[in-house]
Structure 1
Amino acid sequence: MTPAARISAAIEVLADLIERRRPASDALKDWGLSRRFAGSKDRAAIASLVYDALRRKASSTFVMGAETPRALVLGMLARVRGMTLEDIAALFSGENHAPEPLESEEVDSLVSLSLAGAPDWARADVPEWLWPAFAAGFGTDAVAEGEALAGRAPIDIRTNRLKTTREALSIELAHAAPEPGPWSPDALRFHPGPDGRGPSLQSEAAFFGGGFEIQDEGSQLVTLLAGAAPGQTVIDLCAGAGGKTLALAALMENQGRLFATDLDARRLAPLHERLARSGASIVEIRIPRSRGHEPLADIEGQADLVLVDAPCTGSGTWRRNPDAKWRVRPGALAERVKDQAQVLARAARLVKPDGRIAYITCSVLADENDAAITAFLTRNSGFAAIPVPEVLASQQGDFGPLVRFATTHGVQFSPRRTGTDGFYLACVQRLN
């Protein structure tokens, strides 16, 4: 496919996902299945165009004066890809599957590319209805934080301490040009190319041998700071596919008891294969038998640490899932807040006296973070928040500088602050 034909395809995919309110991955898959002539490079290039257009959906709509798929692609080519008017016009020729030629209004918009008078939510590329909650967490930095969340994310991997070291892994993957993560001692980072694609890390021998897992450095960092130690009894209460479970096992040096569970048993399915690859031998998967069944009832009040990777809006992962922020609907935030209260109440029953709950979200919204902990502490007088400096000092490493990102109860990471996805961590301790 020619570059112009790929742009036409991206416009077509955007029209489908916007009209049907469906995930971009689904729309892209269906497009590819119905057009077998498109090769893997074509599909990857089209996906990159679609995701880049969605990253800047609100600001491109304002700049172009329209919310059509075509307008979103035009705005993206000029503002994200940095293409000149002449280059764009050459692609929009109307010939050989290329998009129709530019109209005079489109040319004017592409020349000015002005955000003058744009509301803050549009400049930040955050849904309008969600802007008050977003701005509450960042204050005067909210627009800049939104812009950072609209950028492309790097690819981070976590070195599996049970199999290798970061130094050895860096040498093995030298051909992919890794660089050390700025915070996690286990992180290596790879940057995407101009087309948004990164190295094919899951085809590496080190991946099949369990030497690393693909995991954002922010996710690594909050797991590390949760405070798991060898010999403890630890519960990963919302384990999902097990990324944090595997990290916990390595931090515990395969010593102690580590339980992984999730209310949705289907999400646990990939964990079995990942465990076998990783060499983690202390993990026991507990699957709920029915709605309301507590698979950890036999160890209530025994856990040194309960890690709660709480269900949330996922606002901190918008760099990786730019379509998700436009699909989240009003009312979803309130539902997630209810879910968070329920899972924290469950964790409170499982942790032992002097044990801790590490509450984690991949969200940058205060409603899901500090407000959730405030509400929990109000309902549970037998718990107290652990001060952030104490949390940061609980593991070996130079984490002291992260204290500047402390909130009322925890610490908030973001692409602009830490170069990671948007993660929140707060630790509370059971007093009696």
Structure 2
Amino acid sequence: MAGQAWPFRDAVDSFQRIRPLTPAARCSAAIEVLTDIAERRRPAADALKDWGLAHRFAGSGDRAGIASLVYDALRRRSSAAWIMGSDSPRAVLIGALRLQQGLAAASVAALFSGERFAPEPLTDDERARLDTATLQDAPPEVAGDAPAFVLSDLAVTLGDDLIPELKALARRAPLDIRVNTLRGPRDEILPALAAFGAEPTPHAPQGLRIPIGADGRGPALHVEAEFLEGWYEIQDEGSQLAALLAAPQSGETIVDLCAGGGGKTLALAAETGNGAHLIATDGDPRRLAPIHERLRRSGAGAEVRSPRGGRARIDVLEDLDGTVDRVLVDAPCTGSGTWRRNPDAKWRLRPGSLALRTAEQTQVLDRAARLVRPGGRIVYVTCSLLSVENDAAVDGLLSRWRGRFTVIAATEVLAAGPASLREAVRITTHGIQLSPHRTGTDGFYVAVIARNA
């Protein structure tokens, strides 16, 4: 059955309120959510939220377990469909249980038994495919679980590492936090997180990595006292390193042009010890909403400038044109470097949406170019592995502002980061590429461009 109807809502409400869902019942729920995603072409988070609202008897552990199954299936959607010979939600989940969780056919059959709330039993063909099918002859877009239309672009950046990097992007992401040095050093907070198995991240000097469970979940760190007191922020190590490579200096005027929720704003404030005049803004004022509480909690000092709407929209940075020492452009992008965390995003990516993002990157880079003073620097960052969003965007800036900007050599940019990073990153034409396979982080790109004096 491609999409089995959910059997609980009337018959067994009271039973399921007492006991958590069985693993088999979670598989049934995951198939239902995957069917909703496929039929309505909607984000996984929306489908999971609606499922939870419609099945309130499911506890938080059940909802998290179902979400883990759904996201694992999306991570391996193409390869799972290949080995199962079908792209139905049921087939994709079965294939993902083998590919992502390493379950043998007998273990999958125990979940797909057709018994109480379980999916229908495996067919003979499904059993045979679980036992014998391989990815040996699969094309790159299947072996790497990525949209075919971006492979040629990804190959520009990743070269011979294309398939290993794509496979790394199909794994679960780690849980990283950045220790807020405005509160104290990393060593001071480490004992408080020892119970969670926290260990220093491989590269970021203020990062800690927390092991995730078999279901892909980490602990609820956002409710811990140390988080509420501003000792740390949840932030991928790659994002931490991008802020570090921006090399902010005390005494500078720094604009975080696409600040969003403020993750990198807080990192810049900590790196300068609140010694810089830091200004955070974003083209969408709704994205700035969380920054105020995060600044308060962390003790970070930053001026937040929210754009005002209306027909006569006012540029809230106009008074700074030509005076800013450093502009961080954490540009809107496809997020291809974060597919470990947002696997459904890769399947919703279309050529049109990519073109929209590159147009936005042109716009924010040109805005940064007007802000930065002679001798100042633009730090261009994306969470993308696509060259069209990275080196090509820098090429566009250099072409449009011919003779007025110079790219800073990667060796100089890397000098602001830890020595271990220098051997791990991939150097591109204009910048530095972090990636899951090479650095164990999300896929971040960093380029630094100086305005000529």
Q: What TM bracket, shorter-length normalisation? A: over 0.9
The answer to whether the aligner puts 1:239 opposite 2:285 as a matched pair is no
Alpha-carbon shift at residue 258 of structure 1 (Å):
0.5
The answer to whether the aligner puts 1:398 opposite 2:419 as a matched pair is yes
1:132-160 CA-partner distances (Å, limit 9, x unpaired): 22222212211111000000000000010
The answer to whether the aligner puts 1:308 opposite 2:329 as a matched pair is yes
Aligned CA distance change for structure 1 residues 386 and 399 (closer, same or farther; 3 Å): farther
TM-score under structure 1 length normalisation:
0.97
Alpha-carbon shift at residue 399 of structure 1 (Å):
5.1
Letter in structure 2 aligned against 1:163? R
1:272-322 CA-partner distances (Å, limit 9, x unpaired): 1001001012x1111111365311111111111000000100000000001
Letter in structure 1 aligned against 2:306? I
Aligned CA distance change for structure 1 residues 133 and 400 (closer, same or farther; 3 Å): closer
Alpha-carbon shift at residue 124 of structure 1 (Å):
0.4
Structure 1 unaligned spans of 5+: none
**What are the equivalent positions in structure 2 for 1:383-422 lying under 5 Å apart?**
383-394=405-416, 397-398=418-419, 401-402=422-423, 405-422=426-443
Matched with 1:164 is 184
Aligned length: 430
Mean alpha-carbon deviation: is it higher for 146-155 or for 397-406?
397-406
Q: What's the C-alpha RMSD, in Å, of the aligned pairs?
A: 1.2
**What are the equivalent positions in structure 2 for 1:169-208 lying under 5 Å apart?**
169-208=189-228
Letter in structure 1 aligned against 2:234? I
Aligned CA distance change for structure 1 residues 368 and 243 (closer, same or farther; 3 Å): same
The share of aligned pairs that are identical, in percent, is 56
Letter in structure 2 aligned against 1:23? P
Does structure 2 conserve the Cα–Cα contact (< 8 Å) formed by 1:392 and 1:399?
no
Does structure 1 conserve the Cα–Cα contact (< 8 Å) formed by 2:244 and 2:416?
no
Does structure 1 conserve the Cα–Cα contact (< 8 Å) formed by 2:435 and 2:443?
yes
- Whole-Å separation in 2 of the counterparts to 1:113 and 1:73: 15
Structure 2 unaligned spans of 5+: 1-20
- Whole-Å separation in 2 of the counterparts to 1:81 and 1:392: 37
The answer to whether the aligner puts 1:153 opposite 2:173 as a matched pair is yes
- Whole-Å separation in 1 of the counterparts to 2:223 and 2:308: 35
Select which of 94, 105, 120 maps to 2:114.
94
- Whole-Å separation in 2 of the counterparts to 1:221 and 1:186: 10
Alpha-carbon shift at residue 256 of structure 1 (Å):
2.5
The answer to whether the aligner puts 1:227 opposite 2:247 as a matched pair is yes
The answer to whether the aligner puts 1:268 opposite 2:319 as a matched pair is no
Matched with 1:286 is 305
- Whole-Å separation in 2 of the counterparts to 1:31 and 1:419: 33
SS at match of 1:30: helix
Matched with 1:319 is 340
Alpha-carbon shift at residue 165 of structure 1 (Å):
1.1
SS at match of 1:357: strand
Letter in structure 2 aligned against 1:127? P
Matched with 2:380 is 359
**What are the equivalent positions in structure 2 for 1:29-44 lying under 5 Å apart?**
29-44=49-64
Matched with 1:112 is 132
Alpha-carbon shift at residue 167 of structure 1 (Å):
0.7
- Whole-Å separation in 1 of the counterparts to 2:182 and 2:192: 16
Alpha-carbon shift at residue 404 of structure 1 (Å):
5.1
Letter in structure 1 aligned against 2:372? V
The answer to whether the aligner puts 1:85 opposite 2:102 as a matched pair is no
Runs of 4+ in 1 over 4 A off after TM superposition: none
